[in-house]
Structure 1
Amino acid sequence: MLIIADRILTDTGTYLEGGAVLVEGDAIAAVGPRADVVRQAGPGVRQLVHSGTVLPGLIDSHVHLIFDGGTDPVAGLGESDEVLHERMCRRAERLLRAGVTTARDLGDRGGLAFRVAGPDRPRTAGRSPPRGR
């Protein structure tokens, strides 16, 4: 897939005006000036034209997917593992839609976060039992 954008925020923190990103499989194959990347992509590649800024995936280093973010986040902990897992998956998908591609879950019940990671959800890292004071 070829993503064409007005601006691209690169991994070095600079902006590239009129750039493109070439994605091959699940990896970024090229980022650069539009003409160069279009040429590298070749004919027949699916194109997504974006009239804004494309940026690298965001990292959230402190999440608790098990909590609902409401005024009493622990209220739902009495639900079954299956219900909690489904809710955690939905929360992870919301993170991904917001641009978060990597999330560090800092604790849940029974290691449910281990089951959340998937190809259509953010990667999860640092999943371990809490080690508070």
Structure 2
Amino acid sequence: MGKAIDDLNIREKEDQAMDETVTISQLKRWASRFVEERSWQEYHTPKNLAMSIAIEAAELMEIFQWKTPEESGTICQDPATREHLGEEISDVLAYLLNLADVLEIDLSTVFLDKMEKNGRKYPVGQTTSF
């Protein structure tokens, strides 16, 4: 992974799910260092990052294209497809982390604020459809 991930000691506990131990802040720092090490900052404008999120999300959607709902529910059973999904999800996340960093948006705060707003908009027991 290179110097950035090594310096952050992200992979300290190989036997534990990393989602349980790695913070959003650590991921943002790693993504930022990855960009800095390659001198890509001039290309990482909010417009370019937002467009890149959409492009990578489309690549993620392409994996599910033409799958039935049943097939999409079991798609991770194939190891190669699971790996491909993980890569595309990671691409979306990397660009999202970089966008939040460039715009100085605290992801945890805006996520919790939005979930509270959604909770008021869609109260439990009162939502009948999407």
**Could you say which TM-score interval applies, normalised by the shorter chain?**
under 0.3
Q: Structure 2 length as normaliser, TM-score?
A: 0.25
Which structure has more relative contact order (CA 8 Å, sep 6+)? It is 2
Structure richer in helix, relative to its length: 2
Structure with higher strand content: 1
Bigger Rg over Cα = 1
